Structure 1
């Protein structure tokens, strides 16, 4: 199942963070893993939501 795959990836990343604790090594590990992972476009929805909130709050 896909949720199990994502959950296992999450656990692996958290485990690596606590074990390696060296940013340069974590960067190398993440770069090796990146081609295999599905990347989500977080920036676009966050930007749209922020702008919508600013209009709603009367800040723009």
Structure 2
């Protein structure tokens, strides 16, 4: 049985970055595939930016 501990925020961010890099390096032969990859890359960028912004807000807000 494999141990599958919960991911940290940093690990989530890095996983998104790994996926982004894999998608960027691929050549797509159809317009549909190109559109899907482009959309996925934009969504990954938005998710990463949101993570950074939320983390920054959390660290700027006094407890």
Give yes or no for TM over 0.5. no
Instruction: Answer 1 or 2: which has greater helix percent.
Output: 1
TM-score by length of 2: 0.32
What is the TM-score with the length of structure 1 in the denominator? 0.33
The structure, 1 or 2, with the larger RCO (C-alpha pairs under 8 Å, 6+ apart) is: 2
Q: Which has the larger radius of gyration?
A: 1
